[in-house]
A and B are shown apart, each in its own frame.
Chain A
Amino acid sequence: GAVVSQHPSWVICKSGTSVKIECRSLDFQATTMFWYRQFPKQSLMLMATSNEGSKATYEQGVEKDKFLINHASLTLSTLTVTSAHPEDSSFYICSAINSGRAVNEQFFGPGTRLTVL
C-alpha cells in the first residue's frame, strides 16, 4: 500500500512551452499532496502544498502563475510548468498524505525529470 506514481517520468520540451506533470495516489486517498523540486546534487525544496478542492499554498519565492497546481480529486494532483525555460529544468517530486490514517506520513512519487531546451 501507499504507492504514489508520477507521469511522465521524463520529459523534454522546448523553451516557451508548457508541461503538465501528474501525481497519483494509487491505493489511498490524499487530500493533501506536496510538490518538491530537486536540482542536481541538491536537496529537495518544497514548492507548494496541494489541497483537494481548494487553492494550492505556495512557498515563498515560488511563482504561482508559473507553476499551476490543480488537485481536482482525492487521488490526483497536477503541476503545470507554464512557459518553461531552461532554468526550470529540474527533478520534480510529489508526495501524498494518506487521508485515512492518523499518522501524517508523506509517501513520495518516483519523480519527473524535466529538461527544457
Chain B
Amino acid sequence: AQSVSQHNHHVILSEAASLELGCNYSYGGTVNLFWYVQYPGQHLQLLLKYFSGDPLVKGIKGFEAEFIKSKFSFNLRKPSVQWSDTAEYFCAVSRKAAGNKLTFGGGTRVLVKP
C-alpha cells in the first residue's frame, strides 16, 4: 500500500531560522507530489506541487521543495521563516493509476517563535 512518512511531528524554531521538513513515500512508480499547509482554524492550502520537469519546485510564500527520485523524497524548505508560518504542514502523494487519490503524511506542526 502507498504510504507517506513525515519524519517530524513537531518543529519549534525562531523567526529567521531555516526550515526543512522531510517527506518520504513508499511507491516506486510515477507519482505526483504535494505540500499543503493548514493555518490554525483555516482550511488546507496548496503550497506547491510536483508533476514532472524540474525537480526543484518553488511554491508560494517562499517555500520550495526538491524531488529526489532515488530517495523517494520530497522535502520542503524555507530559508527564513516568519511567525506567520506557524501552521501544520502536510505532504501528499497521488498517482493517476490509482484514481488520483491523495495519500497524506501524518503532518508536521511547526511553531515559529517571534
Contacts and interface: CB of A to CB of B under 8 A. Distances in A.
Interface of A: 32, 34, 42-46, 49, 57, 93, 95, 97, 103-106, 108-111
B105 A43 contact: yes
Given A57-B99, A103-B51, A108 B104 contact: no
B96 interface: yes
Contacts of A34: 101-102
Chain B: number of interface residues, binned into ranges: 20 to 34
Given A46-B102, A49-B99, A57-B99, A104 B32 contact: yes
A94 to B, nearest CB: 10
A49 B101 contact: yes
Contacts of B101: 34, 46, 49
B22 interface: no
A104 B102 contact: no
Contact of A43 (B45, B46, B107): B107
A104 B43 contact: no
Most buried by A among B42, B43, B45, B107: B43
A43 B106 contact: yes
A97 to B, nearest CB: 6
Contacts of A57: 99
24 contacts: A34-B102, A42-B106, A43-B104, A43-B106, A43-B107, A44-B102, A46-B102, A46-B103, A49-B99, A57-B99, A93-B44, A95-B102, A97-B100, A103-B51, A104-B32, A104-B96, A104-B100, A105-B46, A105-B49, A106-B100, A108-B36, A108-B43, A109-B43, A110-B42
B43 A93 contact: yes
Most buried by B among A49, A108, A110: A108
B100 A32 contact: yes
A45 B101 CA distance: 11
Interface in B31-85: 32, 36, 42-46, 49, 51
